[in-house]
Amino acid sequence: MLGWTVLLFWAQLKPIERADILLITLFPVVTLLAVAAVLVAKSNQISISSLLPMFVLYFVVYCTFIPSYMWAKKQKPHS
């Protein structure tokens, strides 16, 4: 997790040029975290109500990262 955090801080220094980091954060990282949470909920190890805040967070991440990526790809990099 520390490595990924450092990568995201590095990407925010030049967000337009490094917008692809958003996609590799969503696919597979956030997607696999969501799949793992679903599997845990289906196995009844943790109740779905306990996992609900995490699913809300995943939803917010998707709803912000995808439009941000699309916006960044329309911009011209500053040289």
- Contact in structure between 19 and 68 (CB atoms under 8 Å): yes
- Contact in structure between 15 and 73 (CB atoms under 8 Å): no
Q: Is the pLDDT of residue 79 over 60?
A: no
Q: Is the pLDDT of residue 78 over 70?
A: no
Q: What letter would DSSP give residue 29?
A: I
- Contact in structure between 65 and 22 (CB atoms under 8 Å): yes
pLDDT (tens digit per residue) in 33-73: 999 999 999 999 999 999 999 999 999 999 999 999 999 99
Q: Is the pLDDT of residue 77 over 90?
A: no
Which two tokens mark 1? Answer: 């997790």
- Contact in structure between 34 and 55 (CB atoms under 8 Å): yes
In terms of pTM, does the model score above 0.75? yes
